[in-house]
Structure 1
Amino acid sequence: MENRKIAEEIIRQLQLFSLSGVYGVLLGIWYEFFRILRKTFVHKNRIVHLEDIIFCLTAAIGLFILFQVYNQGMIRFYCLFGVEGGVLLYFFVLSRWVGKFLSYLVGFFCRIIKIARGIFGFPGKVIVKNTGKTLKNMRKTIKIIRNHK
Protein backbone atom coordinates (compact mmCIF):
# COMPACT_ATOMS: atom_id res chain seq x y z
CA MET A 1 0.00 0.00 0.00
CA GLU A 2 2.80 2.38 0.92
CA ASN A 3 4.69 1.64 -2.29
CA ARG A 4 1.58 2.38 -4.34
CA LYS A 5 1.23 5.85 -2.75
CA ILE A 6 4.88 6.58 -3.40
CA ALA A 7 4.53 5.44 -7.03
CA GLU A 8 1.44 7.63 -7.52
CA GLU A 9 3.26 10.63 -6.05
CA ILE A 10 6.25 10.08 -8.33
CA ILE A 11 3.96 9.78 -11.35
CA ARG A 12 2.18 12.99 -10.32
CA GLN A 13 5.51 14.79 -9.98
CA LEU A 14 6.65 13.54 -13.40
CA GLN A 15 3.38 14.77 -14.89
CA LEU A 16 3.89 18.17 -13.27
CA PHE A 17 7.47 18.28 -14.56
CA SER A 18 6.25 17.45 -18.08
CA LEU A 19 3.49 20.01 -17.85
CA SER A 20 6.05 22.58 -16.73
CA GLY A 21 8.11 21.74 -19.81
CA VAL A 22 5.09 22.25 -22.04
CA TYR A 23 4.47 25.58 -20.31
CA GLY A 24 8.09 26.53 -21.03
CA VAL A 25 7.56 25.79 -24.73
CA LEU A 26 4.39 27.92 -24.68
CA LEU A 27 6.33 30.76 -23.05
CA GLY A 28 8.89 30.51 -25.84
CA ILE A 29 6.15 30.75 -28.47
CA TRP A 30 4.58 33.72 -26.65
CA TYR A 31 7.94 35.52 -26.55
CA GLU A 32 8.53 34.68 -30.22
CA PHE A 33 5.25 36.43 -31.01
CA PHE A 34 6.56 39.61 -29.41
CA ARG A 35 9.86 39.24 -31.29
CA ILE A 36 7.99 38.95 -34.59
CA LEU A 37 5.94 42.05 -33.76
CA ARG A 38 9.17 43.97 -33.07
CA LYS A 39 10.68 42.84 -36.37
CA THR A 40 7.53 43.63 -38.35
CA PHE A 41 6.63 47.00 -36.85
CA VAL A 42 8.95 49.79 -35.79
CA HIS A 43 8.59 50.36 -32.05
CA LYS A 44 9.62 53.13 -29.73
CA ASN A 45 11.35 52.15 -26.51
CA ARG A 46 8.24 52.80 -24.42
CA ILE A 47 6.21 50.33 -26.45
CA VAL A 48 8.98 47.73 -26.20
CA HIS A 49 9.02 48.19 -22.42
CA LEU A 50 5.24 47.84 -22.32
CA GLU A 51 5.44 44.62 -24.35
CA ASP A 52 8.09 43.27 -21.96
CA ILE A 53 5.89 44.09 -18.98
CA ILE A 54 2.93 42.36 -20.64
CA PHE A 55 5.06 39.29 -21.35
CA CYS A 56 6.43 39.11 -17.80
CA LEU A 57 3.04 39.60 -16.17
CA THR A 58 1.32 36.98 -18.33
CA ALA A 59 4.19 34.52 -17.80
CA ALA A 60 4.07 35.03 -14.04
CA ILE A 61 0.29 34.70 -13.92
CA GLY A 62 0.43 31.51 -15.99
CA LEU A 63 3.13 30.03 -13.75
CA PHE A 64 1.13 31.00 -10.66
CA ILE A 65 -1.97 29.29 -12.07
CA LEU A 66 0.10 26.21 -12.95
CA PHE A 67 1.39 25.98 -9.39
CA GLN A 68 -2.03 26.66 -7.88
CA VAL A 69 -3.93 24.13 -9.94
CA TYR A 70 -1.44 21.28 -10.03
CA ASN A 71 0.64 21.70 -6.88
CA GLN A 72 -1.56 23.53 -4.33
CA GLY A 73 0.54 26.68 -4.77
CA MET A 74 3.82 25.08 -3.74
CA ILE A 75 6.84 26.02 -5.79
CA ARG A 76 9.09 23.08 -6.56
CA PHE A 77 12.49 23.41 -8.15
CA TYR A 78 11.84 20.56 -10.54
CA CYS A 79 8.91 22.58 -11.92
CA LEU A 80 11.18 25.55 -12.52
CA PHE A 81 13.71 23.24 -14.19
CA GLY A 82 10.88 21.87 -16.34
CA VAL A 83 9.92 25.38 -17.45
CA GLU A 84 13.54 26.19 -18.20
CA GLY A 85 13.95 22.94 -20.10
CA GLY A 86 10.86 23.72 -22.16
CA VAL A 87 12.14 27.20 -22.96
CA LEU A 88 15.55 25.82 -23.98
CA LEU A 89 13.89 23.12 -26.07
CA TYR A 90 11.86 25.75 -27.84
CA PHE A 91 14.70 28.17 -28.55
CA PHE A 92 17.23 25.56 -29.64
CA VAL A 93 14.94 23.19 -31.56
CA LEU A 94 11.56 24.69 -32.45
CA SER A 95 12.26 28.42 -32.71
CA ARG A 96 13.21 28.49 -36.38
CA TRP A 97 10.03 26.83 -37.66
CA VAL A 98 7.62 28.46 -35.26
CA GLY A 99 9.22 31.85 -35.96
CA LYS A 100 8.70 31.43 -39.69
CA PHE A 101 5.12 30.33 -39.15
CA LEU A 102 4.36 33.27 -36.83
CA SER A 103 6.02 35.68 -39.29
CA TYR A 104 3.79 34.34 -42.01
CA LEU A 105 0.68 34.71 -39.81
CA VAL A 106 1.53 38.27 -38.78
CA GLY A 107 2.24 39.20 -42.42
CA PHE A 108 -1.00 37.56 -43.53
CA PHE A 109 -3.05 39.49 -40.97
CA CYS A 110 -1.26 42.73 -41.91
CA ARG A 111 -2.22 42.20 -45.55
CA ILE A 112 -5.83 41.50 -44.58
CA ILE A 113 -5.93 44.67 -42.47
CA LYS A 114 -4.44 46.72 -45.35
CA ILE A 115 -7.04 45.36 -47.76
CA ALA A 116 -9.88 45.99 -45.28
CA ARG A 117 -8.58 49.49 -44.57
CA GLY A 118 -8.48 50.15 -48.32
CA ILE A 119 -12.01 48.87 -48.84
CA PHE A 120 -13.55 50.59 -45.83
CA GLY A 121 -11.27 53.61 -45.93
CA PHE A 122 -12.14 54.63 -49.49
CA PRO A 123 -15.69 55.81 -48.68
CA GLY A 124 -14.28 57.63 -45.66
CA LYS A 125 -11.70 59.40 -47.80
CA VAL A 126 -14.36 60.45 -50.29
CA ILE A 127 -16.62 61.75 -47.53
CA VAL A 128 -13.82 63.66 -45.82
CA LYS A 129 -12.57 65.12 -49.11
CA ASN A 130 -16.06 66.22 -50.19
CA THR A 131 -16.88 67.56 -46.73
CA GLY A 132 -13.66 69.57 -46.74
CA LYS A 133 -14.50 71.08 -50.14
CA THR A 134 -18.04 71.88 -49.00
CA LEU A 135 -16.78 73.57 -45.83
CA LYS A 136 -14.28 75.66 -47.81
CA ASN A 137 -17.04 76.75 -50.19
CA MET A 138 -19.30 77.59 -47.23
CA ARG A 139 -16.51 79.64 -45.65
CA LYS A 140 -16.03 81.59 -48.89
CA THR A 141 -19.77 82.18 -49.15
CA ILE A 142 -19.95 83.44 -45.55
CA LYS A 143 -17.01 85.81 -46.15
CA ILE A 144 -18.70 87.18 -49.28
CA ILE A 145 -21.98 87.70 -47.42
CA ARG A 146 -20.22 89.47 -44.51
CA ASN A 147 -18.27 91.73 -46.86
CA HIS A 148 -21.46 92.87 -48.66
CA LYS A 149 -23.19 94.03 -45.47
Structure 2
Amino acid sequence: MQPMNHGHHHISSLPEIDAVDVLVLDDTMPEKAPSGVTGMYVYILGAADAPHVRVVGTQALHIATLWRRLPPGDEAACHEPPFGLRVHAGDIIALQASVCWMCSNIYGYRGSQQFDAGFDARSAEAQELLSLLEQVTHGLPRPAAY
Protein backbone atom coordinates (compact mmCIF):
# COMPACT_ATOMS: atom_id res chain seq x y z
CA MET A 1 0.00 0.00 0.00
CA GLN A 2 1.14 3.51 -0.70
CA PRO A 3 0.11 6.77 0.95
CA MET A 4 -2.31 8.81 -1.09
CA ASN A 5 -3.54 11.66 1.05
CA HIS A 6 -2.35 14.78 -0.74
CA GLY A 7 -5.93 15.38 -1.97
CA HIS A 8 -7.72 14.68 1.31
CA HIS A 9 -8.52 18.38 1.85
CA HIS A 10 -10.93 18.06 -1.12
CA ILE A 11 -12.89 15.58 0.97
CA SER A 12 -13.01 17.38 4.31
CA SER A 13 -13.68 20.83 2.82
CA LEU A 14 -16.74 19.98 0.72
CA PRO A 15 -18.90 23.14 0.55
CA GLU A 16 -22.59 23.34 1.50
CA ILE A 17 -24.56 21.18 -0.93
CA ASP A 18 -28.10 20.81 -2.31
CA ALA A 19 -28.11 17.34 -3.87
CA VAL A 20 -25.95 14.29 -4.50
CA ASP A 21 -26.16 12.02 -7.52
CA VAL A 22 -25.08 8.53 -6.48
CA LEU A 23 -23.80 6.67 -9.53
CA VAL A 24 -23.28 2.94 -10.02
CA LEU A 25 -20.04 2.62 -12.00
CA ASP A 26 -18.79 -0.30 -14.07
CA ASP A 27 -15.88 -1.27 -16.30
CA THR A 28 -17.40 0.41 -19.39
CA MET A 29 -16.78 3.88 -17.95
CA PRO A 30 -13.15 4.20 -19.13
CA GLU A 31 -14.11 3.80 -22.81
CA LYS A 32 -16.78 6.51 -22.40
CA ALA A 33 -14.42 9.10 -20.89
CA PRO A 34 -13.48 12.17 -22.93
CA SER A 35 -10.31 11.94 -25.02
CA GLY A 36 -7.18 12.85 -23.07
CA VAL A 37 -8.48 11.73 -19.67
CA THR A 38 -6.13 9.19 -18.11
CA GLY A 39 -5.72 7.11 -14.97
CA MET A 40 -8.57 6.31 -12.65
CA TYR A 41 -10.25 9.64 -13.49
CA VAL A 42 -11.82 7.92 -16.51
CA TYR A 43 -14.36 6.27 -14.21
CA ILE A 44 -16.06 9.44 -13.03
CA LEU A 45 -15.69 11.38 -16.30
CA GLY A 46 -16.99 8.41 -18.29
CA ALA A 47 -20.09 8.12 -16.13
CA ALA A 48 -22.38 10.61 -17.88
CA ASP A 49 -24.99 7.92 -18.58
CA ALA A 50 -24.33 5.71 -15.54
CA PRO A 51 -27.33 4.44 -13.59
CA HIS A 52 -27.86 6.91 -10.76
CA VAL A 53 -30.25 8.30 -8.21
CA ARG A 54 -30.46 11.94 -7.09
CA VAL A 55 -30.57 12.32 -3.32
CA VAL A 56 -31.83 15.57 -1.79
CA GLY A 57 -32.84 16.89 1.61
CA THR A 58 -31.58 15.43 4.86
CA GLN A 59 -30.29 12.27 3.19
CA ALA A 60 -28.08 14.32 0.84
CA LEU A 61 -26.83 16.37 3.77
CA HIS A 62 -26.05 13.15 5.65
CA ILE A 63 -24.04 11.82 2.68
CA ALA A 64 -22.11 15.11 2.58
CA THR A 65 -21.45 14.96 6.34
CA LEU A 66 -20.15 11.38 6.11
CA TRP A 67 -18.01 12.34 3.10
CA ARG A 68 -16.42 15.21 5.03
CA ARG A 69 -15.69 12.88 7.96
CA LEU A 70 -13.91 10.16 5.95
CA PRO A 71 -10.60 9.67 7.74
CA PRO A 72 -7.34 9.65 5.76
CA GLY A 73 -5.87 6.25 4.96
CA ASP A 74 -3.71 4.35 2.52
CA GLU A 75 -4.88 2.99 -0.79
CA ALA A 76 -4.17 -0.24 -2.62
CA ALA A 77 -3.06 -0.71 -6.22
CA CYS A 78 -6.44 -1.91 -7.55
CA HIS A 79 -9.55 0.09 -8.38
CA GLU A 80 -12.95 -1.45 -8.97
CA PRO A 81 -15.33 1.39 -8.06
CA PRO A 82 -18.95 0.45 -7.57
CA PHE A 83 -19.98 4.02 -6.72
CA GLY A 84 -19.44 7.57 -7.86
CA LEU A 85 -20.72 10.79 -6.37
CA ARG A 86 -21.64 13.99 -8.16
CA VAL A 87 -22.29 16.67 -5.54
CA HIS A 88 -24.38 19.72 -6.45
CA ALA A 89 -24.24 23.17 -4.87
CA GLY A 90 -26.93 25.17 -6.59
CA ASP A 91 -26.37 25.02 -10.33
CA ILE A 92 -22.75 23.86 -10.15
CA ILE A 93 -21.18 20.47 -9.65
CA ALA A 94 -19.05 21.12 -6.57
CA LEU A 95 -17.37 17.71 -6.60
CA GLN A 96 -17.46 14.48 -8.57
CA ALA A 97 -15.50 11.38 -7.67
CA SER A 98 -15.33 7.61 -7.93
CA VAL A 99 -14.95 5.83 -4.59
CA CYS A 100 -13.61 2.33 -4.03
CA TRP A 101 -14.01 0.70 -0.63
CA MET A 102 -11.94 -2.32 -1.69
CA CYS A 103 -8.96 -0.13 -2.55
CA SER A 104 -9.60 2.68 -0.07
CA ASN A 105 -9.19 5.34 -2.72
CA ILE A 106 -11.03 8.25 -4.28
CA TYR A 107 -10.34 9.81 -7.67
CA GLY A 108 -12.19 12.93 -8.68
CA TYR A 109 -12.58 16.59 -9.41
CA ARG A 110 -13.38 19.52 -7.16
CA GLY A 111 -14.54 22.00 -9.76
CA SER A 112 -11.90 21.62 -12.46
CA GLN A 113 -9.13 20.57 -10.05
CA GLN A 114 -8.22 16.89 -10.22
CA PHE A 115 -7.54 15.11 -6.92
CA ASP A 116 -6.98 11.68 -5.45
CA ALA A 117 -7.01 10.56 -1.85
CA GLY A 118 -6.84 7.47 0.27
CA PHE A 119 -9.32 6.92 3.09
CA ASP A 120 -9.86 4.39 5.83
CA ALA A 121 -12.55 2.22 4.23
CA ARG A 122 -12.98 0.24 7.47
CA SER A 123 -13.84 3.32 9.55
CA ALA A 124 -17.34 3.69 10.94
CA GLU A 125 -17.94 6.76 8.76
CA ALA A 126 -16.86 4.98 5.58
CA GLN A 127 -18.97 1.92 6.37
CA GLU A 128 -22.01 4.08 7.14
CA LEU A 129 -21.53 5.98 3.86
CA LEU A 130 -21.22 2.72 1.90
CA SER A 131 -24.37 1.38 3.55
CA LEU A 132 -26.28 4.57 2.73
CA LEU A 133 -25.14 4.53 -0.91
CA GLU A 134 -26.18 0.89 -1.23
CA GLN A 135 -29.56 1.77 0.28
CA VAL A 136 -30.31 4.72 -2.01
CA THR A 137 -29.24 2.82 -5.17
CA HIS A 138 -31.26 -0.29 -4.34
CA GLY A 139 -32.94 -1.38 -7.56
CA LEU A 140 -30.41 0.20 -9.94
CA PRO A 141 -28.47 -2.14 -12.26
CA ARG A 142 -25.20 -3.40 -10.75
CA PRO A 143 -22.01 -4.55 -12.46
CA ALA A 144 -21.65 -8.33 -12.50
CA ALA A 145 -18.60 -8.21 -10.20
CA TYR A 146 -20.43 -6.27 -7.48
> Same fold by TM-score, threshold 0.5 exceeded?
no
Larger radius of gyration: 1
Compare relative contact order (CA 8 Å, sep 6+) and give the higher one, 1 or 2: 1
Structure with greater helix percent: 1
TM-score (norm 2): 0.26
TM-score (norm 1): 0.25
